[in-house]
Amino acid sequence: MDRLNSKEPVEALVRRLWGAKPDGSAKWTKFHWTGQANLEERARLLGVEFHDAYRQIYPILSSLVHPGPTAYLRTSFEQFEFHVGYAYFYTFKHAHDATILAANMLGIASRVEGFESFMQQLIEWLNDAMKTLSPKQ
């Protein structure tokens, strides 16, 4: 319990969780914890809905997150703005869904008075924001 608030160097954490090589250095895992290293393959294994979401979202998020001019090269400001909004939308959507999933799994949702209405209010705000988008998009 004393360790909960202390910071542990990443190397030490890896040694504790995944062990050490004979020379004492951390044995870094070469795979994702799911057993599938490839992100697209993980999405495909979850089902068509998730694979479709990956194929729609990943290229835009990747171009916005990674450095360089990829996200705005040869595109109008309006298109760039749309991509940023699209990225925020999906970031919100997945964070919202993950919050509900975690709250339900941990039994938090049933203990917080008004939890469902709070989550619904977030969706209503999102829908209001979506109405401000240009119909051309």
What are 20's strand-pairing partners?
26
Tokens of 100: 């509900």
pLDDT value of position 40 = 93
- The Cα-based distances of 40 to 12, 57, 111 in angstroms read 30, 11, 36
Report whether pLDDT(62) > 50: yes
Report whether pLDDT(100) > 50: yes
User: Which of 35, 34, 89 has its CA nearest to residue 60?
Assistant: 89
Mark whether 22 and 61 lie in a shared domain: no
Which residue range forms the structural domain that includes residue 5?
A: 1-30
Mark whether 12 and 42 lie in a shared domain: no
When computed from its CA atoms, the radius of gyration of the chain, rounded to whole angstroms, is 20
Mark whether 21 and 63 lie in a shared domain: no
Mark whether 83 and 114 lie in a shared domain: yes
pLDDT value of position 82 = 80
pLDDT higher at 67 or 22:
22
Burial (CB count <10 Å: 0-12, 13-18, 19+), residue 61 = middle
Do the domain assignments include residue 115?
Answer: yes
Residue-by-residue DSSP string for 45-71: HH-HHHHHHHHHHHHHHHHHHSSSSTT
Amino acid letter, 120: Q
Mark whether 101 and 43 lie in a shared domain: yes
Each residue of 5-50: pLDDT tens digit?
A: 566 788 888 888 888 999 999 888 777 777 788 889 988 998 898 8
Report whether pLDDT(72) > 90: no
Q: Which residue has the tokens 């699209």?
A: 86
Mark whether 59 and 107 lie in a shared domain: yes
The fraction of the chain above a pLDDT of 90, given in percent, is 13
Residue 64 CA neighbour count, 13 Å, CB half: 16
pLDDT value of position 1 = 47
Mean pLDDT, range 67-95, rounded to an integer? 77
Lowest mean pLDDT among 54-58, 75-79, 131-135: 131-135
Q: Rounded to a whole number, what is the distance in angstroms from the first to the last CA of the chain?
A: 52
Mark whether 80 and 24 lie in a shared domain: no
Mark whether 21 and 57 lie in a shared domain: no
pLDDT-derived band at 135 (thresholds 50, 70, 90) equals low
